[in-house]
Amino acid sequence: PYRLNIKGKDQAIKSRGVKETTVYYTLCHTSMTSIVVECGFMSNPQEVSLMYNSEDYRISISKGIAEGILKSL
């Protein structure tokens, strides 16, 4: 598993780590590799603000996801 740490323009966003589970249908019942990426929580005003208002934050998340995919290959 690849752990991603995203940094916003002014602060680091807390990594909640990698969770392995059998709860998600997509992860357990497909013949292909699959992942679930959570980029924040709508119940967290700070994360919502970053997602909607910070292009740097969105780019950082996108690059981090791409990097994680490449490292897993």
Contact between residue 62 and residue 69 where contact means Cβ atoms under 8 Å apart: no
Long-range pairs for 33-39: beta carbons < 8 A, 24 or more residues apart: 33/72, 37/65, 39/6
pLDDT of residue 9: 52
User: What residues contact residue 20 under an 8 Å CB cut-off, 6+ apart?
Assistant: 1
Residues 6+ positions from 51 with CB-CB distance below 8 Å = 39, 40, 57, 58
Q: Tens digit of pLDDT for each residue in 33-72?
A: 777 788 888 898 988 898 899 898 888 888 888 888 888 7
Q: 10-40: per-residue pLDDT in tens?
A: 555 666 777 777 777 877 788 887 777 888 8
Token pair, residue 20, equals 């392995």
Residue of higher predicted confidence among 8 and 52: 52
